[in-house]
Amino acid sequence: MAVPSASPQVPDLREPPGWRRTKNQLMTILMWAAFVITLVPLVLVLYTVIQKGSAAISWQFLTSHTIPPNVMPLSFPGGMGPAVLGTLEITGFAALIAIPLGILGAVYINEYGGKSVLANFTSFMADVMTGVPSIVMGLFIYTIWVLHFGYSGLAGSFALACLMLPIIIKSTQEMLKLVPDSLRQGSYALGATKSRVTLTVVLPAAVSGIVSGALLAVARAAGETAPILFTIFTVEATNTNLFSGANTTLSAQIFVNATSSYTGAEQRAWGAALTLIAIAFLLMIIARTVTARFTRYTR
């Protein structure tokens, strides 16, 4: 392999043919193939939802009342009005609870807790809590609230809030870590108290990331079904009162209609699915835009 000195021969620097190069190329192809194959179900799902869902969607669909999945419709195929309302209300209220608590929790871990064992432990357990199954959250709220106060949209909000809380804590924590310490020091040096530093300097610096993390958590919560089933007792009437009485959401409607074999149920399910995906995607796109737009300012 070593070239002898004073050799007049010019070295050949081309890639030696053979297995090393083919192996490298093969691996690269495999990696790309993995990505493409992963795309397939995504494309199929989106295609089917859009195709079948758009057949069901109309303004009437989005505003009329739902009908139970086990009823043969006479003239009216049923709509998703209450479910849309329910999804928006219940998820919205859950966000109202979870976002401030989540941000405050992250503030504790990152700003106040420092290196203490408790803060580290809390951070670790928040990580673990993101893995708690959504059905367990539903059962939890059922045992702790529904048994005493009955079904309501509020209970559903609590369950969703429990799901969202650790996610928002983690994403906010990541954003707070990115805020350079020099900003905090500058504020302290002007005589600000810790709460003031946090509220007026740290949080505003991280706001875009916090907002986008929160929106993604909301998008996920909007799609949840299991916690809803146990807390709101899916019904088919519109219930604008969040705090009492059973309620329904898009996700619950999809679930009950999906396995029903009655006419029109499947179509309703697709319509609801399209609506739900549209909401979730919309939230995701807003989240990404917020990140992209505001990071330019903070750079």
Partner 1 sequence: MSTVAQAGPAKSAGPAHPLAQRRPLGDRGFAILAIASGLLVLVILVLIVVSTAQQSTGWFSQEGLSGIFSVDWDPAANHYGAMAFLYGTAITSVIAIVVAVPFSVAIALLLTEVVPGRAARPIVYVIDLLAVVPSVVWGLWGFVVLVPWLQNHIYPHVGNVLNGVPVLGNLFGPPVSGQSFFTAGVVLAIMIVPIITSLSREVIATVPAIDKEGAYALGATRWEMIRGAVWPHSQGGIVGAVMVGLGRAMGETIAAAILIGSSPQITSHLLATGYSFPSVIANQFGEAVGVQRAALIGLGLLLFVLTIIVNLIARGVVLRSTRRMRGA
Partner 2 sequence: MEQPENEVIPQLHVRETAQDAVPERPARASVFDVEKVSVYYGDFRAVTDVSLRIHEHEITAFIGPSGCGKTTVLRTLNRMNDLIPGARMEGDIRYRGAGLYDAAVSPTAVRRRIGMVFQKANPFPKSIYDNVAYGPRINGIRGKGQLDEIVERSLRQAALWDEVKDRLGKSGLGLSGGQAQRLCIARTLAVEPDVVLMDEPCSALDPIATGRIEDLMQEIKSKYTIVIVTHNMQQATRVSDRTAFFSVLRNEKPGASDTRTGILVEYDRTASIFESPRDERTQAYVTGRIG
Q: Which residues sit at the interface with partner 2, rule CB under 8 A?
A: 1-3, 5-7, 10-16, 19-20
Distance between CA atoms of residues 18 and 26, nearest Å: 12
Q: Which is nearer to partner 2, 2 or 37 (CB)?
A: 2
Closest by CA to 84, choosing from 65, 110, 106, 104, is 65
Which tokens in the block code for residue 21? 């190069």
- Owner of token pair 């859950």: 94
Q: Which residues contact 236 (CB under 8 A, 6 or more apart)?
A: 65, 66, 67, 68, 82, 248
Q: Is residue 51 near partner 1 by the rule CB under 8 A?
A: no
- Only segment of 6-14, 56-64, 71-79, 136-144 that touches partner 1 (CB under 8 A): 136-144
Q: Is residue 195 near partner 1 by the rule CB under 8 A?
A: yes
What is the rounded end-to-end Cα distance, in angstroms, of the chain?
Answer: 50
In the complex, the smallest distance separating the C-beta of residue 42 from partner 1, rounded to whole angstroms, is 5
16 binds, among partner 2, partner 1, none (CB under 5 to 8 A by kind): partner 2
Q: Is residue 218 near partner 1 by the rule CB under 8 A?
A: no
Q: Is residue 105 near partner 1 by the rule CB under 8 A?
A: yes
Q: Which is nearer to partner 1, 75 or 296 (CB)?
A: 296
Beta bridge partners, 152, equal: 245
Q: Which is nearer to partner 2, 21 or 177 (CB)?
A: 21
Q: Which is nearer to partner 2, 24 or 295 (CB)?
A: 24
Q: Which of the residues 234 through 293 are near partner 1 (CB under 8 A)?
A: 251, 254-255, 258-259, 266, 269-270, 273, 276-277, 280-281, 284, 288
Which tokens in the block code for residue 91? 């998820």
Length of the chain: 299
Q: Which is nearer to partner 1, 237 or 240 (CB)?
A: 237
42 binds, among partner 2, partner 1, none (CB under 5 to 8 A by kind): partner 1
Q: Which is nearer to partner 1, 132 or 240 (CB)?
A: 132
Q: Is residue 224 near partner 1 by the rule CB under 8 A?
A: yes
Longest CA–CA separation in the chain, Å = 97
In the complex, the smallest distance separating the C-beta of residue 136 from partner 1, rounded to whole angstroms, is 5
Q: State how far Cα 156 lies from the chain centre.
A: 16
Residue 108 DSSP class: I
Q: How many CA atoms lie within 13 A of 69 on its CB side?
A: 18
284 binds, among partner 2, partner 1, none (CB under 5 to 8 A by kind): partner 1
226 binds, among partner 1, partner 2, none (CB under 5 to 8 A by kind): partner 1
- Rounded to whole angstroms, what are the CA distances from 194 to 17, 107, 116, 238, 257? 65, 11, 17, 46, 52
